Amino acid sequence: MPKIKDDIVEKIKASANIVDVVEDAGFQLRRKGAHLECLCPFHADRNLGSFVVNERRNFYYCFSCEAKGDAIKFVMEYHKLSYRDALLYIAAIYNIYVEEDDHYKDMVAKRENYKKTFVPREPLPPLKWMVWPLGYTEPYMHHAEDNVLLTWMRGKLPEQFKSKLDDMIEQYRVGTSLKGYTAGWVIWPQIDMEMRLRDMKFMKYKADGHRDKEWNPNWMSSMLAKAGQMDADTYEARRCLFGLHLAKKYPKAQIALVESEKTALLCSAFCDPNIKIWMAVGGLKFFNAEMLDPLIRDNRDLVAYPDIDGMEKWQRAIDSIGYNLLTMTVNMRPVSEGGQYDPIKDGPKADIADIMIRLMSDIPETEAEKVARMLGAYDKVQDIAYMMDKLNLEIEQ
């Protein structure tokens, strides 16, 4: 089977428009706000609204069956074609000639009953970058008593680490939603190194600390767009690492990278931020060069702490990124291989927070830590320990 010439492939990809291929398949799209919608082609859909097409970003998504992809993926899935034949089918849609290719002739013949040949559209101008003042986070802060996740975290931590957790909640600017259906949800702000608010991620958790997967995460940018307070055809939110802003505050700290925001916050309770700062990429698939670019350009020392079930994928990503200051931690290896992971105690899907909580639970609180906790001055624990040692002071029993 002859290879399609590279210049033709690029022309096909540049021409492929999700609106055209959906309409070519016989579905009538109608506009709904910033998106287009129709009945889902991939399941027995009876109600409009679940299958949406984003013309600007050139992709489709179904909220019911979770089918998603770009124009090429749509042609592959709907018409049951290979990747190569999907390219040829799209070439036929736009009358892009592929010489000496019998499969191309088959695609043209397959479309003989169609009356319409599509014309490649001019690319839309790029979206403007939307950021918000840091003050947007302020109304949601200082409501830990209404937040089931933060309550659970405090219950999991040994006493000597609770005040440190409270301090890091403030530094990360973690918030709590207070009204509407998201009331009680955790708000994870994404703040960049210039202290600009990129977006805020709303997530619902159960009282046991697990995410309530019956509810998808919501984003401030999406909610503003739906409410007509942000023009999604003009602006887009460009997301970043959770905790990225702390890189500027602690310029010499090593950066520890984890999957979830919850893990980053928990781990921060056990570490001096001057030495190590925890940041979250927001999920297994977001560990990539684009997400890490601000830290790479800042020449920071990066250590990856993936969940146990994501180690192989993250190692491949590290190899692909090729940044010499990005390494994989040894702590996620099993104890038998020199790491800290205990398969029996930690379970098959453990993250570094699970391991750290187990290890730290066995460490008793020192007298200096007790004094620091009583004084609300955990950041002065080393100074208090020095004074108690020099003056031979003890806590009265």
Same domain, 142 and 50: no
- 370 inside domain: no
Alpha helices in 64-191 (DSSP H): 71-79, 83-93, 102-110, 148-156, 162-172
Same domain, 15 and 100: yes
| Helix%, strand%, coil% for the chain, nearest 5 | 40, 15, 45
Give the domain range for residue 295.
Answer: 129-360
Q: Please tell me whether residue 193 adopts helix, strand or coil conformation.
A: coil
Q: What is the CATH number of the domain that holds 92?
A: 3.90.580.10
- 390 inside domain: no
Same domain, 61 and 153: no
- 378 inside domain: no
Same domain, 226 and 304: yes
Beta bridge partners of 276: 254
Same domain, 101 and 169: no
- 1 inside domain: no
Same domain, 297 and 334: yes
pLDDT by residue, tens only, the chain of 397 residues: 677 888 888 899 988 999 999 998 889 899 887 689 999 999 988 888 789 998 878 889 998 888 889 999 999 999 898 888 889 889 888 888 887 667 777 777 766 655 566 777 776 677 888 999 999 999 999 887 889 999 999 988 888 888 899 999 999 999 999 989 999 999 999 999 999 999 999 999 999 899 998 999 999 998 998 888 888 778 889 899 999 999 999 999 999 999 999 999 999 998 999 999 999 999 888 899 989 999 999 999 999 999 988 889 999 999 989 999 999 999 888 888 888 888 877 778 788 888 888 877 755 556 666 666 556 665 666 676 666 676 665 665 5
